[in-house]
Amino acid sequence: MSVDQVKATIREGINAAEAAITILEQLRGDIAGTLDLARYTAHDSRHTHVVTGLARLAEARRELDTARRRLTGGIDAARDYLKILE
Amino acid sequence: MSASIADVATQFRDVIERIDRAAVAALGASTDTEQAGGLYNDAAVGSSHPRIRAAITNTREGSAKTAKVARLLAESANAFTDYLNAIAPGTAPARQVSGGSVRTGAQIVEDSATKSRTGFGRFVQATSARVDDLSEIARNVAKAIDPDRGGSGTAAARTVPVAALPSTDVPDAAANLVVIAIAGAVVAKKLAELARRRHDNRDDQYSEGDR
């Protein structure tokens, strides 16, 4: 693979990672809103399914933030490498 | 049914449908992250430079977390569906794909592309050429659910029927689908059920924190 091909491949990777981040950012608001609605709807239910549903939803929101940070870190590193190649 | 229970049931249906949609979008993001990691890896051949290695490592971790988000969302929707069935039997969303048959991944991709104004559309365009069934998405979710699956015989055997879900061998599951939920959510749901069964035997599964 030539240097130009390597650079093009990395740029393509960055584009894919950015597409994922775009989705995750949209999802972040969606999940937060849904969590609010679910908590409101559940009221003070202690039913095991409700507790589980809320816990999984809240965990999804936390994990989403971690995913976004990792992907952003990956993009930053990939851009650094592109500069090194130039 | 009292009015209040009916109201609660209606709102829970809304919650479940929202979570289902989010799960499908998360699966889309997960596919993008896999692609990004693969491309970085391709570009890194012959190089051990720390920055390209960091790009690969971070992206793989981000990919695993994204798949985990999809799995958690599917589990959440399942739990609320169970609750709805408990308090108001028969009112859970008809998680039914329109037309009475589960659509293929290609149809999902096509439909989503025309509707989407978000990044999901970009995912759809980026992957439409190579996703002609749900097996790839199913594999992503399977990995998220069962990260220690090292290709062992039993685990692999479990995922096979899941990947084949869009066929007609699961009429009960088909009756449980949502119009919007798209076959991807079906796969996520089925896999989440598998995960839940595993969870019953392994209480530590959800206690893992971010490293």
Q: pLDDT (tens digit, 9 = 90+) per residue, B174-205?
A: 333 333 334 455 455 555 555 555 555 444 43
Q: pLDDT (tens digit, 9 = 90+) per residue, B63-82?
A: 999 999 999 999 999 999 99
- Alpha-carbon span B195 to B199, nearest angstrom: 6
Q: Half-sphere exposure (CA, 13 Å, Cβ side) for B194?
A: 24
Q: Which of residues 11-50 of A touch B (CB under 8 A)?
A: 12-17, 19-27, 30-31, 33-34, 37-38, 40-41, 45, 47, 49-50
Token pair of B191 as six digits: 């896999």
Of A22, A34, A52, the CB nearest to B79: A52
- Alpha-carbon span B15 to A69, nearest angstrom: 27
Of A22, A66, A74, the CB nearest to B122: A22
ipTM of model: 0.96
User: Among A59, A19, A65, which Cα is nearest to B25's?
Assistant: A19
Distance from CA of B102 to the nearest CA of A (A): 24
DSSP state letters, B110-126 = HHHHHH--SHHHHHHHH
* DSSP label at residue B181: T
Contacts of A50 in chain B (CB under 8 A): 79-80, 83
Cβ contacts from A onto B, under 8 A: 206
Contacts of A64 in chain B (CB under 8 A): 26, 65-66, 69
- Alpha-carbon span B188 to B194, nearest angstrom: 10
Question: What burial class does residue B47 get, using C-beta atoms within 10 Å of its C-beta: 0-12 exposed, 13-18 middle, 19+ buried?
Answer: middle
Token pair of B44 as six digits: 């890194």
B88-98 burial, b for 16+ CB within 10 Å, e for fewer? beebbbebbbe
Q: Are the CB atoms for B192 and B34 separated by under 8 Å? A: no
Confidence of residue A19 (pLDDT cuts 50, 70, 90): very high
Task: Flag if B120 and A50 touch (Cβ within 8 Å).
Answer: no
Confidence of residue B8 (pLDDT cuts 50, 70, 90): confident
Report the 3 state secondary structure along B79-91: HHHHHHHHHCCCC
The number of angstroms, rounded, from the C-alpha of B176 to the middle of its chain's C-alpha atoms is 16
Pick B150 or B138 by higher pLDDT.
B138
The number of angstroms, rounded, from the C-alpha of B81 to the middle of its chain's C-alpha atoms is 16
Share of chain B above pLDDT 70, in %: 43
Token pair of B47 as six digits: 């190089």
pTM score over 0.90: no
